[in-house]
Amino acid sequence: MKKFVKILFLVLISMKLDLSASPEYLKYVNEIVNEFEEEMKKEYGLHCCSSGGAMPHDVQEISVGFQIRKKPTLEEAREMEVTAVKKLLHLVNNHKKIRPFLREYPFGPDRVGVSITFCNDKWDHHNDQSVTLIFTARGRIFYRGSEIRMEKPLLPVDYLKIKDPQDPEQCRRAIEERDKKVEKLPLVSQEYFVPILDESFEEAIKIVQEKK
């Protein structure tokens, strides 16, 4: 798995919720996520790799990330994502113990985040313009591909050499020194997510229903 994917999953909080000395509702979130994982693994063979959300004082958002060795069509990815979001919402809204702790009831698609990363047999991405990642955010579904670009590596500016950060001349020289170092380095492969499509969750549901 590439470095930027690891960063993405860290942002998604790549760990099980720590229930020790935690608010009561985290126990209920964990119950929901565990059942959700089992259902998605049974139906699609998805492997859960991250879970978290926004829960400072109540349950504002719930996020779950999955991986699977598969190269789907856009239609297959859409159906999988729609099914997953609907399952998670059903589990949340039918869990009576968590209901008093929800930011709003019923929980809507804008309050859950489900991501699915599609990989090859080596758990690397398909860099051929197919759907590599699909995820929900703010009630919309986003589709991303993956591509490799040959670029100069990124190097940070050595700010320790700048005695006065307010001096624009010192900052300029530090940046020029960094750029000269970069020019001497060989090109390296960098992997990027590239937009394919985005649509509202309601649009996606309608398309999936029309296909059946």
35 with 125, same domain? Answer: yes
d(CA 34, CA 56): 21
63 with 122, same domain? Answer: yes
**pLDDT confidence tier of residue 196, bands split at 50, 70 and 90:** very high
Report how many domains make up the chain: 2
Q: Does residue 197 register a pLDDT over 90?
A: yes
Q: What's the confidence (pLDDT) of residue 170?
A: 87
Rg (CA), the chain: 21
107 with 174, same domain? Answer: no
d(CA 2, CA 190): 10
136 with 198, same domain? Answer: yes
d(CA 102, CA 35): 18
91: Cβ contacts below 8 Å, ≥ 6 apart: 32, 35, 36
112 with 167, same domain? Answer: no
Q: Residue 39: which of 72, 74, 85 has the closest Cα?
A: 85
d(CA 25, CA 90): 17
Q: Residue 27: which of 63, 55, 50 has the closest Cα?
A: 55
Residues in a beta bridge with 140: 137, 200
180 with 199, same domain? Answer: no
Domain with 132 in it: 3-146+193-211
Question: Hunting for tokens 């099980």 — which residue is that?
Answer: 16
83: Cβ contacts below 8 Å, ≥ 6 apart: 43, 44
DSSP state of 14: B
167 with 133, same domain? Answer: no
16 with 97, same domain? Answer: yes
71: Cβ contacts below 8 Å, ≥ 6 apart: 118, 120, 126, 130
Q: Which amino acid is at 17?
A: L
Q: What is the pLDDT of residues 80-125, one digit of tens each?
A: 999 999 999 999 999 999 999 999 999 999 999 999 999 999 888 8
Question: Hunting for tokens 């930011």 — which residue is that?
Answer: 103
Q: What is the pLDDT of residues 152-179, one digit of tens each?
A: 888 888 878 888 888 888 888 889 999 9
